[in-house]
Amino acid sequence: MTYIWKEWKEQYRGKGLWLSLCMIIIVSIVIFLQTKGQAIEQGFEIFLLSIYDMNVYILPLLCLFLSSFAIMQEKELKTLMMLITKKESYRSFLLKKSIAVQFITISVLIVWYFSLAIPMKIFFVFQISQFIYFLLTVIFLMVIFNQIGLFLGSICNTRMQLVGANIFTWFLCVFLVDLIFIYILPSVSYQNVKIFSFFYFIDPLHSIRFFFETSIGLISLNHMSKLLEKFLWLSPFTFLIMDLFIWVVLIFELTIWLRKKESQI
């Protein structure tokens, strides 16, 4: 609880969290005004999908910067050194810091989306199940990219390095990976489609989108071809759990391991 309160005070005093929230609020309102003219039956679903598409581009970058600079600030203010030399192990520090960053950033955004639910309920046919699935996609997206940001903040030594690492990671996840998949797509066959599927769904943007679109009924998994059945060899939820394990648990352990290695040099 101490870490959460400390993180809240740091984020509250800083401008990053509030500027990020303002950006999301403005874009959400613009999308809402554009979607308001749609047919009332489909308007809600179109609005959620449009907001999700916006989140795919904005949220990863915001999470990377907010979480990585939270670690960098601990380094610059020497509070990290004081905590580790006195009573904390780096694992304990990183775990508490991760929980604090995740809790603060996710809570702020979830509060905004609950506020946005009021006009949604007035102007659209509000579906609570679809709204909950949408919130889950936001949470999953933020948990994964916050953890990657904490990893980058831990391994980078200067702000310039960190800015470069954040922008490269965002570009890699949002654009470059898809270009690579498009390049190798013609060589995918029935024999190797499962391998392709494994790497395709390791990308959290793919697995989260797949989970969201199947959950709200936009994509049906009935009457699939044999090739598609082999491609979707796990359920959307299982793909998502696999990604959470890789991008949260393994990245957390990698951060600890690299930190130990650095301290031994």
Mean pLDDT in consecutive groups of 10 residues from the start of the chain, 265 residues: 75 78 89 80 84 90 91 81 75 89 92 90 85 93 93 89 92 90 88 88 90 84 81 87 90 87 68
Q: Which pTM was predicted?
A: 0.89
Q: What is the pLDDT of residue 122?
A: 84
What are 46's two structure tokens?
A: 């179109």
Q: What is the pLDDT of residue 84?
A: 72
Task: Please report how the helices 40-76 and 90-123 are oriented relative to each other, as an axis angle in degrees rounded to 10.
Answer: 160
Distance, in Å, from the CA atom of 176 to the CA atom of 163, rounded to the nearest integer, reads 18
Tell the residue number behind the tokens 């391994």, with chain if given.
155
Q: What is the pLDDT of residue 47?
A: 87
Q: What is the pLDDT of residue 73?
A: 84
Q: What is the pLDDT of residue 146?
A: 93
Q: What is the pLDDT of residue 194?
A: 87
